[in-house]
Chains A and B, each alone.
Chain A
Amino acid sequence: DAGVIQSPRHEVTEMGQEVTLRCKPISGHDYLFWYRQTMMRGLELLIYFNNNVPIDDSGMPEDRFSAKMPNASFSTLKIQPSEPRDSAVYFCASMQSSGANVLTFGAGSRLTVL
């Protein structure tokens, strides 16, 4: 298994542009999480899904952020319009509900908004 796969690994965009980050969880994992990592705030949980259904999106900063999980093998995190303060590393993680509550993380997507 290739683990949790995220794309793109790096994204540089200009303020106001739409950004879409993608995640493929580990096959068989029924939970998917999106985290944002910054120097100031560390790892913040943005949203998580169980069986493709959003369970808790209270960490999503504002309406500019949206996340979807159309099927068990794919999720997207979209920012529209992007702002410089959105610059961060965005991590996707997945977990199996019978897996002792341990998350497997992707390599992250580093976003820079100019």
Chain B
Amino acid sequence: AQRVTQPEKLLSVFKGAPVELKCNYSYSGSPELFWYVQYSRQRLQLLLRHISRESIKGFTADLNKGETSFHLKKPFAQEEDSAMYYCALSGGNTGFQKLVFGTGTRLLVSP
């Protein structure tokens, strides 16, 4: 079964500090991993996908199949990064399009 684990409910950092939001997954196959973000009073939206290998708003995430992780990183946090972040996985026995989310991590960046 697909499973996504985000161990931290809340991550609080100061502006300019590095950020790492942890995500581990369980899946027997080749998953597709995503990070979605929900800013205050905004809709949940895609931040980045592992297959794109892109950096969005300074965030990057590398898929580590050995550790089954897809941690989200940013070297210098900004106040506008404060939001709810969800790691998600697609793929599996029940169909490629089924997207399973973790429980989310709230990032709070203080000035």
Chain B, interface size category, equals 20 to 34
Pick from A40, A48, A97, A102: contact of B98, CB below 8 A. A48
Total A residues in contact with B, Cβ cutoff 8 Å? 27
- CB-CB < 8 A to A44: which residues of B? 101
- CB-CB < 8 A to A41: which residues of B? 103
Please report the C-alpha to C-alpha distance between residue A106 and residue B34 in the assembled complex, in whole angstroms: 18
Tell me, rounded to whole Å, the shortest Cβ–Cβ distance linking A46 to chain B. Answer: 12
Please report the C-alpha to C-alpha distance between residue A28 and residue B89 in the assembled complex, in whole angstroms: 24
Q: Does A95 contact B (CB under 8 A)?
A: yes
**Further pairs besides A33-B99, A55-B95: 14, Cβ < 8 Å:** A3-B43, A41-B103, A42-B86, A42-B104, A43-B104, A45-B98, A45-B99, A45-B100, A48-B98, A56-B98, A101-B49, A101-B96, A101-B97, A107-B43
